[in-house]
């Protein structure tokens, strides 16, 4: 497994592979866990060459404290990747990725005016900046993203459409801890107390799905928020039930084929997100 820190060396390595088979790509911000590894394994299975990027992208953080404390564990990440069949790790510096500030703005339309887009202004624009750069350098046939970041997947599909890029976006199921908490690099930052209570988020959402046929959308939302907020350690920032394609909130169950409940919860200093499909 190669580790490259510059675009030139990474692209030179890939030039030898290109044309001989497909290139799969898993963009990450590091602090890898089983969720990322499942994306990497899927890419290894489906492609001839797999590239993983590890880069904490400053332009997608709207909160400087969050950027400062985001876990950076490159050595451990490389160790974990060694067992997956990944061919190349691209771990650039900020200067390497942004020799000049990126001034581009993307118009993701209504996809970015709700939920994460509304709560984290500029976040998806920053994701668009880094992902489009990474796609330009790696030029993958397929790129793999986890559905925990449900809205991000929709935004990236839109990005590919806006920029007319020739890459298939593959979305993969959420990987959970045994107690149901969605795997996230941010889980590492939870205090022991917050880690213990955090599975309540998924439990409450599962309960919402189980009960939803006898409740209105509004009742389901309120009940879920109440169940979680009952814990003094958790505070729901939003819980929205949205149309799976437009990401706009629905008022009646019939407004979407597979409505998705999306949640953001503050657990002490850590902000967690998760989602569930109402089937």
Residues 124-163, interacting with ligand PAF (CB under 6 A) = 127, 130-131, 149, 152
* Helix, strand, or coil (residue 267): strand
If we measure between CA atoms, which residue out of 35, 237, 12, 28 comes closest to residue 127? 28
Min dist CB 146 to ligand PAF, Å, is 7
Min dist CB 120 to ligand PAF, Å, is 11
The radius of gyration computed from the CA coordinates of the chain, to the nearest angstrom, equals 19
Note if 33 is an active site residue. Answer: no
* Start-to-end CA span in the chain (Å): 41
Of 33, 36, 194, 212, which one is the catalytic site residue?
Answer: 36
| Measured distance CA(274)–CA(108) in Å, rounded | 21
The DSSP secondary-structure symbol of 112 reads G
Please choose, out of 26-34, 113-121, 188-196, 265-273, the segment that lies near ligand PAF by the rule CB under 6 A: 26-34
Interaction of residue 117 with ligand PAF, rule CB under 6 A: no
Which residues lie closer than 8 Å to 6 by C-beta, 6 or more apart?
A: 92, 96
If we measure between CA atoms, which residue out of 140, 169, 148 comes closest to residue 51? 140
Min dist CB 231 to ligand PAF, Å, is 27
Residues 49-78, interacting with ligand PAF (CB under 6 A) = 57, 60
- State which residue, 38 or 152, has the beta carbon closest to ligand PAF: 152
Interaction of residue 189 with ligand PAF, rule CB under 6 A: no
Min dist CB 14 to ligand PAF, Å, is 18
* Helix, strand, or coil (residue 96): helix
Interaction of residue 29 with ligand PAF, rule CB under 6 A: yes
Min dist CB 106 to ligand PAF, Å, is 13
- State which residue, 123 or 202, has the beta carbon closest to ligand PAF: 123
| Measured distance CA(239)–CA(244) in Å, rounded | 14
The crossing angle, in degrees rounded to 10, of helices 7-17 and 123-138 is 50
- State which residue, 36 or 194, has the beta carbon closest to ligand PAF: 36
Q: Where along the sequence are the contacts to ligand PAF (CB under 6 A)?
A: 27-29, 57, 60, 127, 130-131, 149, 152
Instruction: List the catalytic residues.
Output: 36
């Amino acid at each position: 497994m190669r580790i490259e820190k510059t675009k030139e060396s990474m692209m030179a390595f890939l030039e030898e592979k290109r044309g001989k088979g497909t290139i799969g790509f898993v963009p990450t911000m590091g602090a890898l866990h089983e969720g990322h590894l499942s994306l990497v394994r899927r890419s290894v299975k489906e492609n001839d060459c797999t590239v993983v990027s590890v880069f904490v992208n400053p332009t997608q953080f709207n909160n400087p404290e969050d950027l400062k404390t985001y876990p950076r564990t490159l050595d451990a990440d490389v160790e974990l990747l060694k067992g997956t069949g990944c061919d190349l790790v691209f771990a650039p510096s900020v200067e390497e990725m942004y020799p000049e500030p990126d001034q581009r703005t993307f118009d993701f339309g209504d996809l970015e005016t709700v939920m994460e887009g509304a709560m984290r202004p500029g976040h998806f624009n920053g994701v668009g900046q880094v992902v489009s750069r990474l796609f330009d350098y790696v030029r993958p046939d397929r790129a793999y993203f986890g559905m925990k970041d449900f809205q991000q997947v929709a935004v990236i599909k839109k990005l590919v459409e806006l920029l007319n890029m020739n890459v298939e976006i593959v979305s993969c199921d959420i990987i959970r801890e045994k107690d149901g908490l969605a795997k996230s690099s941010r889980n590492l930052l939870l205090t022991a107390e917050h880690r213990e209570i955090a599975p309540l988020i998924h439990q409450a959402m599962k309960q919402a799905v189980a009960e939803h046929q006898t409740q209105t959308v509004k009742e389901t939302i309120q009940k879920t928020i109440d169940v979680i907020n009952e814990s003094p350690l958790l505070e729901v920032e939003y819980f929205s039930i949205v149309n799976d394609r437009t990401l706009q909130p629905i008022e009646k169950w019939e407004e979407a084929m597979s409505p998705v409940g999306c949640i953001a919860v503050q657990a002490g200093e850590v902000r967690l997100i998760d989602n569930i499909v109402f089937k």
